[in-house]
Amino acid sequence: MSHCHDEHHHHGHDHSEGAAHDHTDDITPALQNHVYEPIDFSAITTLNEAEPQSGAKIVQKTWMERMDQEPELNSDADEQLLMHIPFTGQIRLHSILLRTSTTSHAPMTLKLYLNREDLDFSTATSLPPTQTLELAQSNEIQEIGVKRALFNTVRSLDLFFEDNWGSGEEDVTKVSYLGFKGEWMKLSREPVNFIYEAAANPGDHKMASGVGEKLGSDVGGAGGRDGV
């Protein structure tokens, strides 16, 4: 089995949602506890991705872009993908958000590894994961809860998509959205809870009058509000 071990960096961010599409009803409660700002997008790496930076791009999609088919992460040499997601703060992870598909391209087994800097396909295959998740075939957003007691001090998270629903007959695994829910803290700060996306770039999306301002005041210029 051969894999492409490409590292990549992603700084740009395209907003492809039409301005006339109003996602106001999507904001609550979906964005509560949504971890976005502390993701270190420029340091995300994805092994065996067919297109460089595509792994980082699906993580950098905002909640309002979650149903966009493109950009999409496709595996290259075979069905496996290994993503390394670093954070700029310490995360208390609650759940993983995924959008895949109803086809055999959908990933089936996802293994999570906590605070590792040395994973490749060989070590991920032999090392016991922090937790293993079984994924469904769905083109809706799946929210898969983790065992919170195991993920209270997340500084980085590795996601090993080990196989897909092709039962060995499909070499390409596809993922179109990846997100996280939880809490996070900076050094010398209390945990903060985020309704973050709506205030991240209020000019990027059309929202009902007052929504952006309200959420912006909740988040605040300091990067958060006291959370649960």
Flag whether pLDDT at 39 surpasses 70: yes
> How many CB atoms sit inside 10 A of residue 79's CB?
25
User: CATH number for the domain including 98?
Assistant: 2.60.120.470
Among 92, 97, 113, CA closest to 59: 97
pLDDT of 27: 46
For residue 48, being part of any structural domain is answered with yes
Summarize the confidence of residues 7-30 as an average pLDDT.
43
Q: What is the DSSP letter of 184?
A: E
pLDDT of 188: 53
Write the burial class of residue 144 (CB in 10 Å: 0-12 exposed, 13-18 middle, 19+ buried): middle
What backbone torsions phi and psi does residue 103 show, to the nearest 5 degrees? -100, 180
Beta strands 154-164 and 192-193, pairing class = unpaired
Among 11, 19, 7, 9, CA closest to 48: 7
For residue 6, being part of any structural domain is answered with no
Q: 77-91, 97-111, 129-143, 180-194: lowest mean pLDDT where? A: 180-194
pLDDT of 32: 73
Q: How far apart are CA 81 and CA 74, in angstroms?
A: 8
Strand partners, 193: 225
For residue 22, being part of any structural domain is answered with no
pLDDT tens per residue, range 50-104: 999 999 999 999 999 999 999 999 999 999 999 999 999 999 999 999 999 999 9
Summarize the confidence of residues 22-37 as an average pLDDT.
64
Flag whether pLDDT at 130 surpasses 80: yes
pLDDT bucket at 191, cuts 50 / 70 / 90:
low
For residue 142, being part of any structural domain is answered with yes
Flag whether pLDDT at 147 surpasses 70: yes
Among 157, 154, 86, CA closest to 124: 157
pLDDT bucket at 186, cuts 50 / 70 / 90:
confident
For residue 94, being part of any structural domain is answered with yes
For residue 39, being part of any structural domain is answered with yes
Domain count, the chain: 1
150-181 core/surface letters (b: 16 or more CB in 10 A; e: else): ebeebebbbbbbbbbbbeeebebbbbbbbbbb
Q: Between 150 and 24, whose confidence is greater?
A: 150
Which domain does 89 fall in, by range?
Answer: 28-226
